[in-house]
Amino acid sequence: MIRVRFAPSPTGHLHVGGARTAIFNWLFAKHHGGTFIIRVEDTDLARSTAESETMVLDDLRWLGLLWDEGPDVGGPHAPYRQSERVSRYGQVARGLLQRGIAYRCYCTEEELEAKRKVAEAAGRPPHYDLTCWLNRRDDDSLPHAIRFHVPEDGDVTIDDAIRGEVTWKRESLGDFILVRSDGLPTYNFSVVVDDHDMEITDVIRAEEHLTNTHRQVLIYRAMDWLIPHFAHVSLILGQDRTKLSKRHGATSVAAYAEAGFLADAMVNYLALLGWSAPDGRDVFDRDYAITNFELDRVNSAPAVFDPQKFEWLNGQYIHAMTAAALRPLVVGAIGVDTPWLEEAIDVVKTSVHLLPQFREAIRFVTEYAAPEIDRGFAAAVAADLRENGSPRDADAVRAMNERLKKATGLKGKELFMPLRLALTGMDHGPELVRAIPLLGRASESDPGVLSPLARIEQCIR
RNA sequence: GGCGCAUUCGUCUAGGGGUCCAGGACGCCGCCCUCUCACGGCGGUAACACGGGUUCAAAUCCCGUAUGCGCUACCA
């Protein structure tokens, strides 16, 4: 049984990098019929907040990445918040202490800093100098951290699902902290205890954790715990090829949601950053991604986030959705609802890529200012509308056009452009065979919308 | 500095020794459709970081260099 987890630190909104890691974990779990777990890594008290946790969870829900076990829904290995698991880390650390694998370190941060400087100046790696290891004491009354002693046979090789074999030499590591002097565990320690306790089978996480795996495997070995499979996903970069951050503009999932991107499009786009479909398609739904997702199709090179392609993809989703499905999203995005909105969405949706763009796209319905046009032409249009009524469908528009052709002697562009200008007030917009019936119907159901006839009459005045 | 990871069109990528003078997508350019703007269709532009090997044959394997990134914390 596959069990994976996404382990965010609650320090703000979910970012696209984290979102992609979550998506890969979720897809992997779904593909294998496994369990998707959320674990909150909030041992950094200075940066973690309860509000952030709520935001991150809300962002994940918005993306539709629902979890089977987590801090809010519980599960067989609760609690799923590291701050609530501190006693367990202490318990494991004491075991390591008793077995002489870990030891108490009484060095202060200032002392360590000084030692590091000396080591670097001497051209040696800035590893811990082992003072407290050589001088072991068991004094619980003095402030101290708990350090892991790297064994002689500390070489580690993992078979990463994305990168293949990765090897580290024992020498590249110094003795590292398991539990800080404030009693809280460090990331490398808590992550191992939790992944073991929660029976995680596959650890899929960002590449920045790759070299941490060396330490973690050593802890697994010391505990004689089963080591999970690892998969390290590369970073997402900004346009300047540095790690995506705030100065690249919007980076949080919430910001993109606010900008009018759809959750499905975001999942699709982020999955495409690193993963590729076996048949090469770029647009796919969740079911397709779930059935086809494999770690061996995940690229190991970092990917640059491309807002243009993301926007194009979002447009593909909007164009493919029905107006009825789009309507509530559009109402949410533009804050306007009208009886004619659904028809308007259907008429204009191919011109929008982002939800808020509907506002501008339907402006020709809600706003009208009479343009300067030939009065004779306007009079002919007005006469036709009075006599035949406002066209209610595309065929009726075409019939009206035929009559106007005869009445005015105009055709093609000479006919349609003035007509478009007179009725919509704009020189561009959706095709007239759709726009004119929409205006007629909208004016019937909404007193705020001028009918085609009312519009043409304003041109004559 | 040490260790680790990465390097195919501007961007996302396919590719796993011959089928690759490298395929798809976004972008850009052109054409078509067309009353306009979009949508859509068709076509074009553009890449194997560099240097050595191995091999009959290398984008694909090996080594080195360069560049980028990550870790090297009592952050995660």
CA distance to A3, A62, A290, A347, per residue, from A298 (Å):
19, 24, 14, 39
- C-beta separation of A126 from A120 below 8 A: yes
The pLDDT value given to residue A351: 96
Burial A219-233 (b: 16+ CB within 10 A, else e): bbebbeeebbbbbbb
CA distance to A338, A347, A370, A432, per residue, from A437 (Å):
16, 10, 19, 8
Q: Which helix (H) or strand (E) holds A376?
A: helix A375-388
Cα A391–chain centre separation: 45
Cα(A241)–Cα(A35) distance, integer angstroms: 34
Cα(A268)–Cα(A252) distance, integer angstroms: 16
Identify the CA nearest to A329 among candidates A316, A345, A312: A345
Nucleotide closest in space to A178 (CA vs C1'):
B74
The pTM (predicted TM-score) of the whole model is: 0.94
Average pLDDT over residues A32-58: 94
CA distance to A122, A197, A250, A365, per residue, from A439 (Å):
81, 63, 37, 6
The pLDDT value given to residue A243: 78
The pLDDT value given to residue A298: 95
For the CA of A101 and the C1' of B8, the distance in angstroms is 47
Q: Which nucleotides of strand B are protein-proximal, with an atom < 7 A from a CB?
A: 1-8, 10-15, 23-27, 34-40, 68-76
The pLDDT value given to residue A348: 96
For A102, the token pair is 């870990």
Helices A412-424, A394-408: inter-axial angle, 10-degree rounding: 120
Average pLDDT over residues A212-218: 96
* Of the listed ranges A174-178, A295-299, A344-348, A367-371, the one predicted with least confidence: A367-371
For A260, the token pair is 């009018």
The pLDDT value given to residue A19: 96
Hey, is A381 helix, strand or coil?
helix
For the CA of A397 and the C1' of B32, the distance in angstroms is 25
Can you tell me which residue has the tokens 């909404």?
A446
- C-beta separation of A261 from A291 below 8 A: no
The residues near A413 (Cβ < 8 Å, ≥ 6 apart) are none
Identify the CA nearest to A43 among candidates A107, A96, A94, A86: A86
For the CA of A447 and the C1' of B2, the distance in angstroms is 75
Cα A307–chain centre separation: 13
For A107, the token pair is 């060095």
DSSP code, position A74 = B
The pLDDT value given to residue A402: 87
Q: Which helix (H) or strand (E) holds A35?
A: strand A35-38
Can you give the length of chain A in residues? 461
Residue type for position A191 = V
The pLDDT value given to residue A442: 93
Residue closest to B13 C1′ by Cα: A276
For the CA of A386 and the C1' of B49, the distance in angstroms is 71
Stronger pLDDT, A18 or A404, i.e. the higher one:
A18
User: A437-446, pLDDT tens digit by residue?
Assistant: 999 999 999 9
User: A376-398, pLDDT tens digit by residue?
Assistant: 888 888 999 898 888 999 999 99
Q: Give residue A370's pLDDT band: very low, low, confident or very high (50, 70, 90).
A: confident
Average pLDDT over residues A130-139: 90
The pLDDT value given to residue A118: 85
Beta bridge partners of A157: A167
User: A225-274, pLDDT tens digit by residue?
Assistant: 999 999 999 999 988 777 777 777 778 999 999 999 999 999 999 999 99
User: A146-158, pLDDT tens digit by residue?
Assistant: 999 999 999 999 9
The residues near A346 (Cβ < 8 Å, ≥ 6 apart) are A322, A323
The pLDDT value given to residue A340: 94
Residue closest to B10 C1′ by Cα: A239
Hey, is A322 helix, strand or coil?
coil
Cα(A112)–Cα(A131) distance, integer angstroms: 10
- C-beta separation of A179 from A146 below 8 A: yes
Stronger pLDDT, A324 or A415, i.e. the higher one:
A324
Q: Give residue A211's pLDDT band: very low, low, confident or very high (50, 70, 90).
A: very high
Which of A109-123, A157-171, A240-254 is the most confident on average? Answer: A157-171
Q: Report, as residue numbers or ranges, the catalytic residues of A.
A: 246
Average pLDDT of chain A to the nearest whole number: 93
Nucleotide closest in space to A212 (CA vs C1'):
B71
Identify the CA nearest to A443 among candidates A339, A363, A328: A339
Hey, is A185 helix, strand or coil?
strand
Nucleotide closest in space to A303 (CA vs C1'):
B12
Q: What is the dihedral of CA A392, A395, A401, A402, to 10 degrees?
A: -140
Residue closest to B70 C1′ by Cα: A208
pLDDT at residue A216 is higher than 90: yes
The pLDDT value given to residue A244: 79
Q: Give residue A373's pLDDT band: very low, low, confident or very high (50, 70, 90).
A: confident
DSSP letter string, A242-308: SB--GGGS--BHHHHHHTT--HHHHHHHHHHTTB--TT--S---HHHHHHH--GGGB--S-EE--HH
Residue A458's CB: how many other CB atoms inside 10 A? 16
The pLDDT value given to residue A174: 92
Nucleotide closest in space to A123 (CA vs C1'):
B1
